[in-house]
Structure 1
């Protein structure tokens, strides 16, 4: 069983029912998310032509402009997921790699929640795409555990370190941008607060993970002077 198979949208009931299959194909920028939520082993076609007029559909069935705050948030979190995938390709720390793989799975779940704007979602739709708050605590536990093995910071550090550490700093910066996009959506009352909190805590985790990986490879952190 892979980590993604343990995530919310791989439950037998969701796959059997088709759940969010019909609209997520067009509204999620990440095709793998559609496949996960629909239970489809593959897509027969990558293109659908439904977005050729500059609009796309949310899970609730609304069509919105592609520069809408919903899709800005979806795009930013998808970009973050891609950066994390790159980080894992250069990572030499097995524990952090496993944690990041799980984060990638959870970001897919989080995108489904973003794709369900609260203003137009039914109770059933909200229940299917609700992002569990327990994952925030999980990040905090990882942060605390890693921090115990790191030298305390006495100064600001510059984004630097090992190749994996530097890549994690990039992912952290992208995560901060995703947080700004999600915050805009939260202020419009279109997404639950837990989604915003998770992205906020994730950027903290990525900072700590960057330090962990640099120290693991004996790479020096550059102190800001």
Structure 2
């Protein structure tokens, strides 16, 4: 199988349901940003593995990357234009279990962190700083997905997960800095 298909040479691309849309369509903006997020998480994962002492966080990052693939499938299958079979295959976190898993991870990390009394700047070593970068990309992904949720093109759970994920990534960045023994830079 060749990696190139040439089907997008005229500025359109295909969704999971077979619809062809312009490459700058809001669905592709959302898909591209979630893809950028998972790539940033891949880099953060490398830095976390390099740092050591954050094995559980590494496992959580890999799980998040899988969830982002699932979100991509949901976003690539507009709810109002897709058949029931494709919709059933791309439902995301209908019962809120993935969001609950993020919340549990956040609570567990925050139980070990010193209280935050001031604003911090992205810092704390390469793993921490890369998680902060991923957090900012996550916020952009949320901004790209929200209009799709509002227009009933994807499941509301996708936006909820991305909202909670940015909190998880903030906690993760602080946690990685603490585990590395690096001080977080305080905003002055």
TM-score bracket, shorter-length normalisation: over 0.9
Shift in Å, 1:224? 1.2
The aligned counterpart of 2:61 is 100
Describe the SS at the equivalent of 1:64: strand
Q: Greater relative contact order: 1 or 2 (C-alpha under 8 angstroms, separation 6 or more)?
A: 2
1:55 aligned to which of 12, 17, 21: 12
Question: Where does structure 1 lack aligned partners over 5 or more consecutive residues?
Answer: 1-43
The aligned counterpart of 2:27 is 70
State how 1:163-174 maps to structure 2 within 5 Å: 163-174=126-137
Describe the SS at the equivalent of 2:167: helix
1:118 aligned to which of 67, 73, 79: 79
1:181 aligned to which of 140, 144, 150: 144
The aligned counterpart of 1:12 is none
1:195 aligned to which of 142, 155, 158: 158
Count of paired positions = 182
Shift in Å, 1:163? 1.1
TM superposition score normalised by structure 1: 0.79
Pair 1:153-2:116 in alignment? yes
Describe the SS at the equivalent of 2:77: coil
Shift in Å, 1:53? 0.7
For 1:165-187, what per-residue CA distance to the aligned partner results, in whole angstroms no more than 9, with x for missing partners? 01100000010011100012112
Shift in Å, 1:188? 2.2
Pair 1:127-2:84 in alignment? no
**RMSD (CA atoms):** 0.9
